[in-house]
Amino acid sequence: MIGAARNPKFSWLITVLLLIFVHLADAQQPKNFARIGYLSSLSPSSESVRSESIRRAFRELGYIEGQNIAIEAHYGEGKVDRAPKLAADLVRAKVDLILVTGGSNWIRAAKNATKTIPIVMVNSVLDAVEEGLVESLARPGGNITGLTLLSRDLTGKRLQVLKEASTKVVRVAVVYGPASPGTAREVKEELPAAARVR
């Protein structure tokens, strides 16, 4: 696990695993299985590398799927309208925890489906506070915790690094998904403001 911690790709995985095991350790009822719900906006094939990394990390910690842990995975296949049903299905499956790897719509669907099952978001939203998913980063309240991107705070810094790396840059084009309110605001408001300052 120490080697994985040095790899930024897997730092989110280590954080999620710690959150899961802290929750499971706090549960006072004896259980044969830890049941983890996995809610993703993507398809199983596009998530195969990530899900195998999670399973491998569980195995390294002594959690073997089918022996002492069960993973109930639900995939949205890119269809946001499926989020509420898939989240509700995980709640009906009585999972101990829901790990969400989609955007704010997927986290909100899980939040609407349960007020008691812990929800762990993984690099899913730009600002969980601003999107109304948690009360604050220091004290999220409710049953949601996890990682947020907070990339908005880095908008100006990214532009600065680009200009320092290539001093002849005069114009920058940005490709983004307009369906994400946070990304749209970052590109339309924060990036132009950062460009004027730099």
CA neighbor of 126 nearest in space, from 157, 89, 152, 163: 152
Share of the chain above pLDDT 70, in %: 76
**Which two structure tokens, joined as six digits, stand for 158?**
């990214």
Q: Distance (Å, rounded) from C-alpha 179 to C-alpha 185?
A: 11
pLDDT given at position 108: 93
Secondary structure letter of residue 154 according to DSSP: G
pLDDT tens digits, 151-197: 666 777 777 788 788 888 888 888 776 666 667 777 777 777 777 76
pLDDT value of residue 3: 35
Q: What is the sign of the dihedral through the CA atoms of 36, 121, 11 and 177? A: positive
The pLDDT tens digits for 61-83 are: 888 888 889 989 999 998 999 99
pLDDT in tens, 5-19: 344 455 555 566 656
Whether 83 and 77 have beta carbons less than 8 Å apart is answered as no
**Is the per-residue pLDDT at 29 higher than 50?**
no
Sheet holding 119-121, edge to edge: 69-75, 34-40, 97-100, 119-121, 144-146
On the question of pLDDT at 27 being above 90, the answer is: no
Mean pLDDT for the stretch of residues 111-131:
86
Q: What is the value of pTM for the model shown?
A: 0.67
In order of 66, 104, 122, the CA distances from 131 in angstroms are 36, 7, 15
| Position 60 pLDDT exceeds 80 | yes
The structure tokens 């899980």 sit at: 110
Q: Flag whether pLDDT at 140 surpasses 50.
A: yes
Across 94-103, 107-116, 137-146, 186-195, least confident range: 186-195
Least confident of 3-17, 34-48, 102-116, 149-163: 3-17
Residue 149 has pLDDT above 60, yes or no: yes
